[in-house]
Chain A
């Protein structure tokens, strides 16, 4: 592989400092509040407009013993949630001023209960997100959003103004626009950036103020555009499944003669593909409400066809040769999603592979063997035309 993009270094440095990275420390030192969240569909714009730094909680990028977490959250809860809990129980998330979640999945809601009962935290916020995007769901969700804003204001004694919301919307939209640019570069025959490197960017994005992140991401895009870096693409893959954070997992797949050019991950394309309306004649909270109901849907949302169509469109746009879905064990939403999605991929003649994972795993051992066989199958299919 060509030499690493220099502009990626700040992101990698931040990731090494997980879970209490320098940007978070600096934010705290300046008197700022930090709200950690897990699950998905969290309107970070609102947290940001309330003056808080939203931090997307995750586990370590390695398989660690989960002894403490296992005693509070049964092993039938996915290891993604238990990995976050392990860190929290060890006190490494003690810097948080609040924790937020949604009923994203069974794991996240029961994790929220455990946090509420066992881990001291100044504030807890829970936002109910509907599973569909009907007018009734929008009205219901909008009222929930208003209630959530009120509870934030009362906890932090700070008014969430329309101006602050628009400012946050624009900042987060800027991130989305930059990611769209970055992903456009990945559509090339020889993309200038690997899937593992993109994962480094995503991981860092969860631990720093968004305006600072945007500046760094812009630099990466500039370098990727100008550095004449052409990665040997091998076979073009898309990754899907439970939120994954370990760049080594992606690298392991890429090292076997492929390049990950796209994803439909919660902590990836699902978060940036759609922009929030910036029409300032409307209510910013309503704009946020509509966005989170209508954006690239997670498996929990219905009708599922909207999600499947989006993913299939991406597969076409990025000219992928195969799809790998990593499902963390006991992640029911992705278990059922994969069953339906893989049939649709099959119908389009695109092979897909499901990997049953534990959170934090790199692509080692059995995973490598399975990916290798999958890539051989792709080769064979290509050879046969």
Chain B
């Protein structure tokens, strides 16, 4: 194993955090840097101490691993984060290309596989992947397991929410626990899992409360905080750190709403984010807010929760229910109707002026663009901009190119808004 890149990335992340923390005013931003760094420090500590690591794809519940005293680590986003922290985009992507991964699959998964080819990713005891998200999520975990020659478990997920689907998924979580028990000799601590699920329910409640608070004008939350919240939710699901994060953000947002303060000083345009923006930098969102007063006030795939509640007393069903109610799985799995209807509803509730769809290179979820765009135009009366970009490759479309597209759109929206108010 070659841990040098991981260690370098964590060191860089710690350095960044130490550099940024004294300057940060927002308690949310401060907590983000602390908690994000702490997540990777825990994995590093596990590597050093030889603790068993469970590598898992997004949407696989870390609550299970915590309850079994394992250290969970997200596969795709952690390898992506390590690449961002070390700027080794080219090396990681060239490596996966050399292994036979073509360019026609998303760069997040190409980077993941590059890390596995080079043995950069921490050696896990097992890998758990899931048929959620997309075909690449379904398949790349198996390739990684092949490379590391470690046992893997595939969590099957139903097509869309139904009582039958909840039962089936709960059974799948039960099978996952059996798998982990068999592979590690550990036993599930069911009381601990229930405690974890109680925290998850609390995190979800806070998340939903924040979503409600964001309906205020001016919007009380920065665009980047929405995405930070989403990742914090998944890396800290069921933990005290997760509850801490959402409490801090809720308190900050609530205080702003009560005082009538916006996240940015001069909010002019309220935007709806329809899909994942490039994850290598939030510079774009900062620039839009700072230079044009254009703020994303809601995000379809990370802030639109389903309505059903999570009952921690039945932890497996609670995990299944959370899966179906969580924004991203709700949007990108199943029929596109929920995605479209939630977005239309958001335009009205959040008083949105325009929407942006980030068409990520090689992402088949782009198949929904036309339907969303037409629905938002016909049923919500707002225009949608489609920005071609890449989730992890900063060279595919530069920030400057994206800025040009966004600038034109902002101008159109501003004129449109001015016409309407006259």
A residues adjacent to B (C-beta < 8 A): 71-74, 76-78, 103, 105-107, 110-114, 116-118, 126, 128, 130-132, 134, 136-137, 140, 143-144, 299-300, 302-304, 327, 329-333, 335-340, 342-343, 354, 356
Contacts and interface: CB of A to CB of B under 8 A. Distances in A.
B100 A333 contact: no
B349 to A, nearest CB: 23
B159 A140 contact: no
B154 A106 contact: no
B150 interface: no
B158 A140 contact: yes
Contact of B135 (A73, A134, A333, A342): A333
A76 B143 contact: no
Given A128-B158, A333-B135, A335-B105, A113 B142 contact: no
Contact of A332 (B131, B172, B364, B367): B364
A71 B135 contact: no
Interface of B: 99-102, 104-105, 131, 134-136, 138-140, 142-143, 146, 154, 156, 158-160, 164-165, 167-168, 171-172, 175, 335-337, 359, 361-371, 374
Nearest to B339: A113
Nearest to A339: B100
Which 6 A-B residue pairings sit nearest by Cβ, starting from the closest?
Answer: A110-B367, A336-B139, A74-B366, A332-B135, A106-B364, A128-B159
Give chain B's interface secondary structure class: helix
Contact of A329 (B104, B134, B140, B172): B104
Contacts of A303: 154
B343 to A, nearest CB: 14
Give chain A's interface secondary structure class: helix
Given A103-B159, A354-B100, A131 B364 contact: no
Nearest to B367: A110
Given A131-B138, A132-B154, A333-B135, A140 B164 contact: yes
A358 B104 CA distance: 12
A101 to B, nearest CB: 11
23 contacts: A73-B370, A74-B359, A74-B366, A74-B367, A78-B364, A103-B159, A106-B135, A106-B365, A107-B364, A113-B335, A113-B337, A113-B371, A114-B367, A131-B154, A136-B171, A137-B168, A143-B164, A332-B364, A335-B101, A335-B102, A339-B100, A340-B143, A356-B102
Given A335-B104, A340-B142, A343-B146, A76 B159 contact: no
Contact of A74 (B135, B139, B142, B369): B369
A332 B368 contact: no
A107 B367 contact: yes
A354 B369 CA distance: 30
A339 B134 contact: no
A110 B101 contact: no
A137 B172 CA distance: 9
Given A132-B156, A143-B164, A339-B101, A110 B135 contact: no
